[in-house]
């Protein structure tokens, strides 16, 4: 339901939620591609049995830079730069929040484990 008007466009005051049932056993990989405007901030939480984990790749349509934060709003640094491949090291799944952002392809890749909550927020790099 539309709650207000923002110039020519309608807007909503509620928070959008996108729950999903997924198989998180065996360190699976999932890609998320939005068909509409991507939210500026997102929250990811994995509920499941102990040992559940997965790698997620989120594609963005704009060339902004996004960063990961934990549930205490503490910045989680990206993986180190690999001089041989000339890009950030691959997410191997060593800990919850391990991540890298690939700017040319515009995607954020991160690892999340059971009971872990992560926030994605845009970062001002100008």
Examine the pLDDT at 94 and tell me if it is beyond 80. yes
Residue 13 lies in a domain: no
Q: Please tell me the total count of domains within the chain.
A: 1
The strand order across the sheet containing 53-59 reads 28-33, 53-59, 107-113, 99-102
> What pLDDT score was predicted for residue 40?
81
Q: Look up the domain containing 64 and give its range.
A: 18-123
Q: What's the predicted TM-score (pTM) here?
A: 0.82
pLDDT in tens, 14-37: 666 777 888 877 778 999 888 877
Dist CA 15 CA 3 (whole Å): 12
Residue 61 lies in a domain: yes
> What pLDDT score was predicted for residue 105?
87
């Amino acid at each position: 339901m539309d709650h207000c008007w923002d110039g020519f466009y309608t807007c909503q005051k509620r928070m959008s939620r996108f729950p999903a049932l997924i198989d998180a056993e065996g360190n699976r990989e999932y890609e998320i591609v939005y068909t509409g405007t991507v939210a500026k901030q997102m929250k990811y939480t994995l509920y499941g049995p102990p040992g559940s984990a997965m790698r997620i790749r989120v594609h963005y349509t704009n060339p902004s830079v996004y960063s990961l934060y934990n549930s205490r709003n503490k910045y989680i640094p990206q993986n180190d730069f690999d001089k041989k491949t000339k890009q950030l090291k691959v997410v191997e799944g060593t800990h919850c929040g391990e991540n890298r952002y690939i700017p040319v392809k515009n995607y954020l890749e991160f690892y999340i484990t059971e009971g872990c909550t992560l926030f994605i927020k845009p970062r001002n790099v100008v």
